[in-house]
Amino acid sequence: MSRDGIVARVADTQTVLIKVHGPDRPGITSSLMAALDELGAVIGDVEQVVVRGHLVLALVVDVAATASLERVRSFSDDPDLIVEIEPAHPSPTDRDAGVVVTVIANSVPSDLRAGARELAPADLAAVAETIAAHNGNIDRIVRLSRYPVFSYELVVLGAPIDELRADLMRLSRDRSIDIAIQPDGLGRRSQRLVVMDVDSTLIQHEVIELLADEAGCRPKVAEITARAMAGELDFEQSLRARVRLLAGLPIDALQRARDRVVPTPGARTFIRTLRSMGFKVAIVSGGFTYFTDHLQQLFEIDHAFANELEIRDGHLTGEVVGDVVDRRRKAELLRQVASIEGIPLDQTVAVGDGANDLDMLATAGLGIAFNAKTVVAQAADVAISVPYLDAILFLLGVREIDVLIDPD
């Protein structure tokens, strides 16, 4: 078609916005599309959502300038269905890749049976105001979950991610809500590998402290652990110092310690859902293989790595065998697993809570700080402070309806 032909065609059309809202029922969309087809309309954009049985449908269409739109206005005989038509700009809305802002109510009641804390209108208003202050436009809002936490996902266009993240993090602290911001795009929708820390992430304990209970040296071990996780001590040196305190511990003490391990709430649901989505799951621990081998079998985890305790004559020698799984090694193992599984690094997710996880979080496509130390929460791509591991699913864009709650 010639340039003049294109101009003529455009001049002979009108662009209109059609808004339909009212009680939802089967057949509304198909009837409207049939009416538009009769007019020879060309659809430029369409969005539809149903909220508590109420339909909101919006379309931008091009139709002949001489076409009568009464057929569209009367496409349904339902008097409760409202149809509004108004002129629209013919140029499509500019859309950049955008960012995704996930807002999570991070306060939980003392009695968990009372249900999750809801996000107040004031919480969402504060988030929206912060986005607007950065000239961001909220393109879409979707409720992700009501259990175990209330969460919403906002797709935002036109806002600079770094500046917006800084202000949203301040808002998160001020209002005691979790706010995560990450780039939208193909990478987020194609994530395929989750690599997790174990102690205080997959489980609620530091296993070396459980062993220290058996050896009667918990206060000494706990002090060294806290300093290591805060980044004040070299991890390998601190690990070897703590393990030496366990010298002489009989191996049946490992069984007793393992029996005390309690998974983090939501851990089974988290892994079960990931596996149903085709994710590979790995655990990398600064703890010990005696525990991670058990957890790998219990949760059907694809890969597990940890330190190996040296045992002689049925007792711990106070030494570890081979290379220590420290901060650097955790990042190496993430790359190794990604390579084995043929998964690009930008499609990987890492989850951890301590300074020993920092390199791993930085290496992954998305690094998530889970109930983390301050230094880790500030360095990670996103941070979450609710006590449920499966709440991480909502950061990945999973909706509550797709979560496979573990029956146990």
Q: Which of 115, 99, 274 shows the shortest CA–CA distance to 192? A: 274
Contact 383, 372 (CB under 8 A): yes
Q: With the C-alpha atoms ordered 13, 14, 17, 21, is the resulting torsion angle positive or negative?
A: negative
φ/ψ (deg, to 5) at 120: -75, 155
Contact 366, 222 (CB under 8 A): no
Residue 197 is a catalytic residue:
yes
Residue 167 is a catalytic residue:
no
Helix segments in 245-326, DSSP class H? 252-259, 267-276, 289-299
> Among residues 197, 353, 381, 390, which one is catalytic?
197
The SS3 assignment for 368 reads strand
DSSP class of residue 365 equals S
Rounded to 5°, the CA angle 116-117-122 comes to 150
> Among residues 199, 326, 381, 390, which one is catalytic?
199
Q: Per 3-state DSSP, what percentage of the chain is helix, strand, and coil (rounded to 5)?
A: 40, 30, 35
Residues with catalytic roles: 197, 199
